[in-house]
Structure 1
Amino acid sequence: MELQALQYPIGKWVPQETHTWEEIQEKIALLKTIPAKYKEVSAELSEEDLLKQYREGSWSVRQIIHHVADMHVLYFVRFKHALTEVNSEAVVGKVDAWANLEEAKSAPIDFSLTLLAGVHQRWTYLLEQMTEEDFQKGFYHPTRKMYMTLKDAVDIGVWHSQHHLAHIKIALGIAQS
């Protein structure tokens, strides 16, 4: 597989021009399924499996699982900020540095699978309470150097979930579905 296909197995995230209310509802439904998909793909993995990488020099399966949980906590916080603050700026982290902390390299994945399940319950519950007007709100993303509506933020949350799930499947040699 070529490097670009390994780095972005489902393609790069690209903001959409528009998002219909029905599309947003579909994205919320997809977000509800993410924790179960991560739990399923990581069930009964050995320590050797958790060290596998999707390409040379990439994060391990363990680091990816911890990264997804970390980032989805940030996504939830970004929504809370955007809904309650004017001119909100996205909370960001140094994801490579976070993934290279000893904690991310050695902590049991169950910690992050539990965290992911909990944050997705809260996040999707929040999303279901939001109005179409709420989804027009947003935040400035300093890393991406763009203003992102909450419609875009739901979209990138789904993309991020699927992007890293594909990385795990590549690392484990699981056929993409």
Structure 2
Amino acid sequence: MELQALQYPIGKWNPQETYTWDEIQERIALLKTFPAKYRAITNGISEEDLLKQYREGSWTVRQVVNHVADMHILHYIRFKHALTEENTQGVVAKIDAWANLSEAQNAPIDFSLTLLEGTHQRWTYLLEQMTAEDFTKGYYHPLRKIYIPLTDALDMGVWHSQHHLEHLKIALNK
């Protein structure tokens, strides 16, 4: 598999021009499914499996799982900020630095799977309470240097979930 395909197995994230209410609801439903998918793909894997990588020089399985839990907390917080503040900036992280912390390299993945489950429960509950008008709100992403409407942010969250799930499938040969 070539590097680009290993790095972006489902392609790079690209927002749609617009989203229908049904498409928003479909994405919320998808977001609900990912914690169980992450739990299933990592169920019963060994310590050796946790050290596997999806490409040479990439994060390990453990780092990927820990990264997804970390970033989805940030996604959830971005929504809360956008819904409650004017002209908010999206909370960002130095993801490589976070992934290289001893905690991210060594913590049991069950910690992150539990975080992912709780975060997705709260995040999707919030999403289900939102109105169409709420989804027109958004935040400025200082690293991407773009304004991200919450419809795009939702789509990005689904993409991010699937993107890293595919990395785990590659690393674990599933």
Regarding TM over 0.5, the answer is: yes
Q: How does 1:19-168 map to 2 (within 5 A)?
A: 19-168=19-168
State the Cα deviation string for residues 131-152 of structure 1 (Å, max 9, x = none): 0000000000011110000000
Amino acid at match of 2:109: I
Cα deviation for residue 48 of structure 1 reads 0.3
Amino acid in the other structure paired with 2:66: H
What residue number does 2:17 align with?
Answer: 17
Paired amino acid for 1:86: E
1:165 and 1:143 mapped to 2: Cα distance?
Answer: 24
Task: Measure how far apart 1:91 and its partner are.
Answer: 0.2
* Distance in 2 (alpha carbons) for counterparts of 1:5 and 1:144: 22
* AA partner of residue 41 (structure 2): V
Shift of 1:15: 1.4
How many Å separate the matches in 2 of 1:91 and 1:55? 28
**In 2, distance between residues paired with 1:144 and 1:43?**
35
Question: What SS class does the counterpart of residue 144 from structure 1 fall into?
Answer: coil
CA distance in 2: counterparts of 1:140 and 1:98, whole angstroms: 22
Amino acid at match of 2:73: V
Residues of 1 paired with 2:44 and 2:64: CA distance? 16
Question: In structure 1, what is the Cα distance between the partners aligned to 2:4 and 2:23?
Answer: 28
Sequence identity of aligned pairs in percent? 74
**Aligned equivalent of 2:4:** 4
Return the alpha-carbon distance in structure 1 between the equivalents of residues 86 and 156 of structure 2. Answer: 21
- Tell me, what secondary structure is at the counterpart of 2:139? strand
Q: How many residues align?
A: 174
Gaps of 5+ in 1: none
Take 1:107 and 1:18, find their aligned partners in 2: how far apart are those partners? 40
Tell me the distance in 1 between the aligned counterparts of 2:34 and 2:172: 18
**What CA distance in whole angstroms lies between the structure 2 residues aligned with 1:40 and 1:4?**
26
> What is the identity, as a one-letter code, of the residue corresponding to 1:63?
Q
Q: TM-score, normalised by structure 1?
A: 0.98
| 1:140 match: secondary structure | strand
Q: Distance in 2 between matches of 1:52 and 1:144?
A: 30
List structure 1 runs of 4+ shifted beyond 3 angstroms: none
Q: CA RMSD in A?
A: 0.3
